[in-house]
Structure 1
Amino acid sequence: MAHLPQIRIPATYMRGGTSKGVFFRLQDLPEAAQVAGAARDALLLRVIGSPDPYGKQIDGMGGATSSTSKTVILSKSARPDHDVDYLFGQVAIDKAFVDWSGNCGNLSAAVGSFAIGAGLVDGARIPHNGVAVVRIWQANIGKTIIAHVPVTGGAVQETGAFELDGVTFPAAEVQLEFMDPAAEEEGAGGAMFPTGHVVDDLDVPGLGTLRATMINAGIPTIFVDAQAIGYTGTELQDAINGDPKALAMFESIRAHGAVRMGLIKHVDEAATRQHTPKVAFVAPPSAYVSSSGKQVAAADIDLLVRAMSMGKLHHAMMGTAAVAIGTAAAIPGTLVSLAAGGGERSAVRFGHPSGTLRVGAEATQVDGDWRVAKAIMSRSARVLMEGWVRVPGDAFRGL
């Protein structure tokens, strides 16, 4: 029996915010994987090491968590006033599935840096010293992200003193602007609140009726009150991820919320889009100890938020969910706004399992509909490894 040798593909392993992923230039992928479809999905699954019934992704680049089972494909943009097209693939760990339904806000912080280093940004737009403004087209959701990337000596500056809770070491600050963040989702008509209300009654069999804020901003997100589901909002990962009943409850909320948001037609379809929508629970400020042992004082935050990602409680906060939090906080009457004390605000600082995060957003009401021009937050990013990733030669051929 003939055995095909491994092939090698140029790739870069990067941290962006509190996530890690494998970055590719579209032009470097094998020809069959340069277009969407089964061959591309099979290739990325093999790169990451999925599906893995052991849940460890030992035979791939994945790190066995939703935050580290990610892929990014970038190419020069043909769109006016954009530098690069950014496509994100969330790779399932134990299933043969790549979810293309949403963005990764954390890895968005690394897109500008990678694009500059990979020659995808016009050199005339990169200062020798200063800040490069990289205009990103987020292809999954059809939105613009503006990344402000520090440059020193003509190269991306990665080291610095900016600290981000959930990331061990300081790095250079990258400011991100998520323009017009209300997500244009199928079935939702592009509405920020697809049900037409800032708070709804959501019926979840076996759980009852929950008050919920369902919003399309950054990423489709379902917010519920922590107290209503038996939590305080100060929980860390172990309190939820080791509880099968709790995980099943959150998945049921997610599935029924997705139907109400018009993202799927039946709850059974939720299994085919694990990345979206997200579920988060909120509570008023309260002191707690973060996962690193850091004391978080109630006076230092506006509210508490915990969010689920790919069926598990996230160790910090997804960047796209942070956009949803900031947007919802700016709109009076949402559960997020109420947990933060109500009233108008242009920025919010929330507590998550790893510490705190600040995100800004300003909302206006036009003809009865809420609009947010942009949401702003700071992250950091750096290259961890670059070169080639190797996969068996038969990983995707024939598809």
Structure 2
Amino acid sequence: MSHAPQIKIPATFMRGGTSKGVFFRLQDLPEAARVPGPARDALLMRVIGSPDPYGKQIDGMGGASSSTSKCVIISKSSQPGHDVDYLYGQVSIDSAFVDWSGNCGNLSTAVGPFAIASGFIDRARLPENGRFAVRVWQANIGKTIIVNVPIANGEVQESGDFELDGVTFPAAEIVLEFIDPSEEGEGEGGGAMFPTGNAVDTLEVPGVGALTVTMITAGVPTIFVDAAAIGYTGTELQDAINGDAKALAMFETIRAHGAVRMGLIKDIADAAKRQHTPKVAFVAPAAAYTTSSGKRVEAGEVDLLVRALSMGKLHHAMMATAAVAIGTAAAVPGTVVNRAAGGGDRSAVRFGHPSGTLRVGIEAAQVNGQWVARKATMSRSARVLMEGSVRVPADHGP
């Protein structure tokens, strides 16, 4: 019996913010996977090691969490004034599904360094030392992201002393600018910043009750709810939520009903096919707590506390796209997030998450009576973990 050899595909394994993913150049993918469709999805699932009923992704590059079950495809930009197109796939761990409905803000950080190192930027444009602004077109949602990458001796600088809560080791600081994160994009979920037209809504959730929520589309579609209304304090760490099947079911019910109200899906049953978005987050006023690493965060260090779920589990830190949503909602008086932060007008917010704190700068304003966000800014870091090739069995897909 003959056996086909494995397929060898050039790839780079990178950390971006508090996530990890496998990065590909579009031209390096097998021809059938260079276009959207079953062949591409099957390839990426096999690379990551999904679907895995054991939930471990042992036979792939995935790390058995929403933060590490990710793939990125980069190509020369199709958009004027941009350097690269960035396409992001969130690979389900235990089911045969790749969600293309949103962006990964954390991995956006790594897109800039990858673009430079992979030859998408003319080296004559790079400074010998300083920063280079890689203009990225986020193809999933039709948005511009500017990734300000530090350059040292003509190369991407990866080492440094910038510390990011949720990441053990320091690295070079990369500043992300999410441009017009609340304006209508080309991807799913584009539209008004508040899809219902309201900064606050009452969401009827079977088995939970009537919840006061803020549903916002900025960075990533997100449903915000008061922690106290669902029995939490906002100081919870992963084990308090992820080990509680009843809690996870409650959050998924909230997410599904919120997705319908936001116009992201037509029927509750469709939520299972759109796992990456919207996000659900619960917020609380500032309070002291101990992070997952044992570090103490005092109430005076933050404006509020936020915990967010991604792919059905409480995130160990904070998704950068959700951080954009948090900052934007905090800037609009009267939202659930703004109230938790103490109210008033804001151009920045610092919030506490399970791994520490994060600051987001936001430029928001009312235009013709509607709130819009012009830009959200935050600092992250990125690093190449491994580069070379990934291998997948030749019979990986259709």
TM-score band w.r.t. shorter chain: over 0.9
Q: Contact (CA 8 Å) 2:183, 2:372: kept in 1 or not?
A: no
AA aligned opposite 2:304? L
1:204-219 mapped onto 2 (5 Å cutoff): 204-219=205-220
Alignment correspondent of 1:286: 287
Shift of 1:183: 5.8
Alignment correspondent of 2:17: 17
AA aligned opposite 1:278? K
Residue 64 of structure 1 aligns to a residue whose secondary structure is: coil
Determine the C-alpha separation between the residues in 2 that align with 1:210 and 1:255.
14
Deviations 1:157-216 (A, max 9, x none): 000000000000000000000000016477866100000000000000011100000000
Residue 381 of structure 2 aligns to a residue whose secondary structure is: strand
How high is the sequence identity, in percent, across the aligned residues? Answer: 76
TM-score, normalised to structure 2, is 0.98
Q: Contact (CA 8 Å) 2:190, 2:217: kept in 1 or not?
A: no
CA 1:263/1:170 → structure 2, altered by over 3 Å: closer, same or farther? same
1:268-347 mapped onto 2 (5 Å cutoff): 268-347=269-348
Deviations 1:251-285 (A, max 9, x none): 00000000000000011000001000000000000
Residue 371 of structure 2 aligns to a residue whose secondary structure is: strand
Determine the C-alpha separation between the residues in 2 that align with 1:197 and 1:168.
40
AA aligned opposite 1:324? A
AA aligned opposite 2:170? P
Alignment correspondent of 1:395: 396
Runs of 4+ aligned residues of structure 1 deviating over 6 Å after TM superposition are: none
Alignment correspondent of 2:56: 56
AA aligned opposite 1:173? E
1:163-178 mapped onto 2 (5 Å cutoff): 163-178=163-178
Alignment correspondent of 1:131: 131
CA 1:23/1:219 → structure 2, altered by over 3 Å: closer, same or farther? same
Alignment correspondent of 1:229: 230
Alignment correspondent of 1:153: 153
Alignment correspondent of 1:115: 115
AA aligned opposite 1:29? L
AA aligned opposite 1:57? Q
Shift of 1:79: 1.2
AA aligned opposite 2:86? Y
CA 1:188/1:103 → structure 2, altered by over 3 Å: closer, same or farther? closer
Determine the C-alpha separation between the residues in 2 that align with 1:221 and 1:207.
18
Determine the C-alpha separation between the residues in 2 that align with 1:252 and 1:82.
39
Alignment correspondent of 2:143: 143
CA 1:393/1:189 → structure 2, altered by over 3 Å: closer, same or farther? closer
Alignment correspondent of 2:68: 68
Determine the C-alpha separation between the residues in 2 that align with 1:300 and 1:125.
40
Higher mean displacement: 186-195 or 296-305: 186-195
Alignment correspondent of 2:44: 44
Deviations 1:201-232 (A, max 9, x none): 00000111000000000000000000000000
Number of aligned residues: 397
Higher mean displacement: 179-188 or 314-323: 179-188
Determine the C-alpha separation between the residues in 1 that align with 2:259 and 2:250.
14
AA aligned opposite 2:322? A
Determine the C-alpha separation between the residues in 2 that align with 1:202 and 1:63.
34
Shift of 1:124: 2.8
AA aligned opposite 1:79? Q
Higher mean displacement: 106-115 or 362-371: 362-371
Determine the C-alpha separation between the residues in 2 that align with 1:188 and 1:145.
17
Alignment correspondent of 1:88: 88
* In the alignment, structure 1 residue 360 sits paired with structure 2 residue 361: yes
Query: Unaligned stretches of 5+ in structure 2?
Result: none
